[in-house]
Amino acid sequence: MSEESKVKTATKIEAEEAKKLDPKELVMTFSGEVPEGEVEAQGYVCTTYCPWCGTYLRAICSSEYYRRYTCAACGGVFRM
């Protein structure tokens, strides 16, 4: 199974820590298909779940970039 096809494990970022994060460093997830042309060259589309609400999500993942995410369903902040 390739890295792209596995469901990534997500970990909650508590509210106090989330307030200190730069909003420009957070990636918004998608609850459906990622629109054509929206995938950036630095990563690949992966599947994860929100540790806050349990919704399965799609996101742009990378081993070098995009380590903190915002849930498209509940707005919870998490890392992968």
* pLDDT value at 42 more than 70: no
* pLDDT value at 19 more than 70: yes
* pLDDT value at 66 more than 80: no
Sequence length of the chain is 80
pLDDT score for 1: 46
Q: In total, how many domains does the chain have?
A: 1
Stated pTM of the model: 0.74
Range of the structural domain that residue 55 is part of: 3-79
Report the percent of the chain where pLDDT is more than 90: 35
> Quick check: 19 and 61 in contact, CB under 8 A?
no
- DSSP string across 53-70: T--EEEEEE-SSS--EEE
User: What's the mean per-residue pLDDT of the chain?
Assistant: 81
